[in-house]
């Protein structure tokens, strides 16, 4: 099994990379960890 980490970048969902979008679309399982950035 291969594991990919897809970062959120600046936080705008419109800025996901084409590769990131393709990987999410084709993967059988997604694990979501939430934000790692503390609230200001």
- Could you tell me the residue range of the domain that residue 5 belongs to? 1-40
pLDDT tens digits, 1-40: 899 998 877 778 888 899 999 999 999 999 988 777 778 7
Q: How many domains does the chain have?
A: 1
- What is the DSSP code string of 4-15? -----TTS-GGG
> What's this model's pTM, rounded to 2 decimal places?
0.66
């Amino acid at each position: 099994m291969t594991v990919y980490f897809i970062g959120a970048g600046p936080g705008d969902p419109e800025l996901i990379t084409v590769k990131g979008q393709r990987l999410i679309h084709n993967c059988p399982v997604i694990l979501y960890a939430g934000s790692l950035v503390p609230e200001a």
